[in-house]
Chains A and B, each alone.
Chain A
């Protein structure tokens, strides 16, 4: 049976490096992907992953079991990512961000003809604002409950639900612009 994250955190608080390795192995990829989506730079996301787990090592004794360990870590990661973004000069645009932007050369029909619906949908997910993309990732990929998202993002639960709704609505609008009308909204 796999040792629970909570047990691992208890051991880490006692200075157990093996438990730390187990927790890292279990969560580092998801934490990285969450951070990557926020900072849109692989190098920065990698640095932040290291920072998040170093904080976990240092602060394990402060973990209060009010949320899942993964939720706690994503909360730490989000805080660090936003701090890193504040430090980053506004005119700095990494290659990945630039690559995600539409060049506007093709009209929707040509765009759709070039790619299948799945590709277009993923492109639209990528084109969402940071706020909308974050909530969609937290709900769909990180499988966080309404309460968990509220804790990570720092907003009321009702706002979590409406933000998710508007993120999905925006996604539909982007799809429509690219020639896919889902009949909603």
Chain B
């Protein structure tokens, strides 16, 4: 029979609630089990613990549950947050996904067709450029539309929450237009019109002072 000192007995008595709940380590559980087998008074106190355990569980199990509308309200909030911070448009990932889904022969055909299109486009642009020097002026109804406004490149702090980023964008009247690219950089529209160099520098400096960003730079 193992002799247990008074201090060890007290230590073991302190562990009884966890022994009853089955949350002791294997080593401690073994210690308690051995002590209980040799100490009738400790075993009697363990019976009290088991009684308390059972009634605590009963008390909790009969204390009700939250109403169903709590879940509806929670997921409405989550949906609203998801809509506010729509997943960023990742062109690279989309192209990769598209190509990965195709048969190798199809990819080869697309590559060939693409090469032909590039050659034709290059010839066309060269021809237009030589014929009409004014052709680069912006046309209002046809031709490629140049992005209007001022843009910045922003990287957010990794610790920034979706809520903080949303608030930052909203407070500064910014709009995410692309990203994230390599290094987690987003392209953000910061003004509807092209800003002068000094105004742009001023705006960038203001944004750099925000704690949710780790980098802000002017974009072309």
On A, residues with C-beta under 8 Å from B are 15, 17, 20-21, 24, 28-29, 32-33, 36-37, 42, 45-46, 49-50, 53-54, 57-59, 62, 118, 121-122, 125-126, 136-137, 139-141, 143-146, 148, 161-162, 164-165, 168, 171-172, 182-184
22 contacts between A and B (CB under 8 A): A17-B78, A20-B78, A28-B71, A37-B60, A49-B70, A50-B74, A53-B74, A58-B161, A58-B163, A118-B55, A121-B51, A122-B58, A136-B52, A140-B20, A140-B52, A140-B53, A141-B60, A144-B23, A145-B18, A146-B23, A148-B23, A165-B14
User: Which of chain B's residues have a CB closer than 8 A to the CB of A29?
Assistant: 65-66
Asked whether any CB of chain A lies closer than 8 Å to the CB of B213, the reply is: no
* B31 proximal to A (CB < 8 A): no
In the complex, the chain B residue whose C-beta lies closest to that of A119 is: B55
Judged by a CB distance under 8 angstroms, whether B82 is at the interface is: yes
Residue contact B49 to A168, C-beta cutoff 8 Å = yes
Consensus secondary structure, chain A interface: helix
Interface residues of B in 20-67 (CB under 8 A from A): 20-24, 44-45, 48-49, 51-53, 55-60, 63-67
Nearest Cβ in chain A — how far from B13, in angstroms? Answer: 7
Contacts of B49 in A (CB 8 A): 168
Q: Is the interface of B mostly helix, strand, loop or mixed?
A: helix
B122 CB → nearest A CB, Å: 42
B50 to chain A, nearest CB (A): 10
Residue of A nearest to B21 (CB): A143
- Bound complex: CA A33 to CA B66 (Å): 9
Q: Which residues of B contact A21 (CB under 8 A)?
A: 75
Within 8 A of A (CB), among B51-101: 51-53, 55-60, 63-67, 70-71, 73-75, 77-79, 81-82, 87
Q: Shortest Cβ distance from B51 into chain A, in angstroms? A: 7
- Tell me whether A45 and B55 are in contact (CB under 8 A): no
On whether the beta carbons of B57 and A141 are closer than 8 Å, the reply is yes
Q: Number of B residues contacting the other chain (C-beta, 8 Å)?
A: 43
Q: Are A15 and B82 in contact (CB under 8 A)?
A: yes
Question: Which of B23, B44, B161 counts the most chain A CB atoms within 10 A?
Answer: B23
B15 interface residue, CB < 8 Å from A? yes
For B67, list chain A residues within 8 Å (CB): 46
- A32 close to B78 (CB less than 8 A): no
B59 touches A28 (CB 8 A): no
A residues less than 8 Å from B79 (CB atoms): 17
Q: Which residues of chain A have C-beta atoms less than 8 A from B66's C-beta?
A: 28-29, 32, 45-46, 49
Contact with A140, one of B56, B73, B163 (Cβ below 8 angstroms): B56
Is A146 a contact partner of B74 (Cβ separation < 8 A)?
A: no
User: In the complex, given contacts A45-B66, A140-B53, A182-B48, what are 5 additional A-B residue pairs having Cβ atoms less than 8 angstroms apart?
Assistant: A17-B75, A28-B66, A54-B74, A118-B58, A145-B18
In the bound complex, residues from chain A placing their C-beta under 8 Å from that of B45 are 184
Contacts of B217 in A (CB 8 A): none
The answer to whether A137 and B56 have CB atoms under 8 Å apart is yes
In contact, B162 and A58 (Cβ under 8 angstroms):
yes
Closest CB of chain B to A164's CB: distance in Å?
6
Known interface pairs A32-B66, A49-B70, A184-B45; A143-B22 also in contact (CB < 8 Å): yes
A59 touches which one: B21, B71, B161 (CB < 8 A)?
B161
How far does the Cβ of A16 sit from chain B's closest Cβ, in whole Å? 11
Nearest Cβ distance between residue A12 and chain B, in whole angstroms?
Answer: 10
